[in-house]
């Protein structure tokens, strides 16, 4: 028998694997409507994991930005002059006002707060403060380096990309993205998501807890009745 160099190797997702032990105990309905449970999710889940953000193709020119929301937080993703996509909390570092409002995406040379007109460069550094002479700490001008410059900069979060998507993590101690994704890239590779392009961006508000949708999507028990 001759060996075929083009022989097909069964992907790991199609190989026989043992079924996980999911137990047979009931879970509390509190997970769907409890404010305390929701806060635990925010603290121990959403603030720890890598979350999907905008698509890479949304950033083609320096200054292109996209506003992305996760729960109670809003973030600015922007293409910097060194062609690095950075992400910041969408919060003015002066009085905590929302820095960029309005349209989901746009193009900017800098970001200026609509409250007191403090402004920041797209690399996150402080750009301008009106009436600097009224601030003792700025009598010699805005800091160009050192810890004071870092204190005034926009608060940056971790960003990486895979599959044509930007991923972000607001935990400073987060594991690398590929470690977090595990076998997922191997399983989804045939779809070549990095070659796809998004043509429509839509947000749907459902009058239910987010886990209602996710739980239904993750099980096939209902298929023979609902999807025939």
Q: Is 145's pLDDT higher than 90?
A: no
**Contacts within 8 Å (CB) and 24+ apart, 126-134:** 126/93, 126/152, 126/153
Residue 1 has pLDDT above 60, yes or no: no
Q: Between vectors from CA 132 to CA 128 and to CA 135, what angle results, nearest 5°?
A: 125
Domain boundaries, the chain: 41-201
Contacts of 74 (CB under 8 A, 6+ apart): 67, 68, 89, 90, 91, 98
- Percent of the chain topping pLDDT 90: 64
CB–CB of 207/175 below 8 Å? no
Give the pLDDT of residue 143.
Answer: 84
Residues 88-111 have pLDDT tens digits of 999 999 999 999 998 899 999 999
Report the percentage of the chain scoring pLDDT > 70: 93
What confidence score (pLDDT) does residue 4 get? 53
Q: Evaluate if residue 39 carries a pLDDT over 70.
A: yes
What mean pLDDT do residues 58-84 have? 96
Give yes or no for residue 11 having a pLDDT over 80.
Answer: no
CA contacts within 13 A on the Cβ side of 215: 8
- pLDDT at position 178 is 97
User: Is the predicted pLDDT of residue 73 greater than 90, yes or no?
Assistant: yes
Contact, 186 vs 11, CB < 8 A?
yes
Q: Domain 41-201 is in which class?
A: mainly beta
CA distance 58 to 61: 9
pLDDT score recorded for residue 5: 54
pLDDT by residue (tens digit) across 154-211?
Answer: 999 999 999 999 999 999 899 999 999 999 999 999 999 999 998 888 888 888 899 9
Q: Given pLDDT bands bounded at 50, 70 and 90, which one contains residue 14? A: low
DSSP letter string over 58-95? G--STTEEEEEEETTEEEEEEE-TTS-EEEEESB-TTT
Q: Are 88 and 76 in contact (CB under 8 A)?
A: yes
């Amino acid at each position: 028998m001759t060996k075929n160099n083009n022989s097909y190797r069964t992907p790991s997702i199609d190989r026989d694997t043992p079924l996980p032990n999911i137990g047979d105990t009931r879970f509390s309905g509190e997970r769907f409507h409890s404010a305390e449970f929701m806060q635990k999710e925010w603290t121990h889940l959403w603030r720890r994991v890598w979350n999907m953000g905008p698509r890479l193709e949304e950033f083609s020119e320096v200054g292109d930005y996209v506003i992305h929301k996760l729960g109670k937080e809003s973030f600015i993703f922007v293409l910097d002059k060194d062609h690095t996509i950075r992400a910041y909390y969408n919060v003015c570092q002066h009085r905590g006002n929302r820095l960029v409002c309005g349209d989901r995406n746009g193009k900017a040379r800098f970001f200026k707060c609509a409250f007191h007109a403090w402004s920041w460069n797209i690399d996150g550094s402080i750009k301008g403060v009106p009436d600097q002479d009224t601030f003792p700490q700025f009598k010699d001008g805005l800091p160009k380096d050192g810890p004071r410059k870092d204190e005034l900069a926009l608060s940056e979060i971790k960003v990486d990309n895979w599959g044509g998507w930007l991923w972000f993590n607001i935990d400073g101690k987060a594991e690398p993205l590929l470690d977090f994704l595990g076998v997922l890239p191997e399983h989804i590779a045939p779809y070549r998501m990095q070659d796809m392009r998004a043509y429509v961006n839509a947000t749907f508000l459902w009058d239910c807890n987010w886990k209602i949708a996710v739980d239904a999507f993750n099980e096939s028990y209902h298929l023979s009745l609902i999807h025939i």
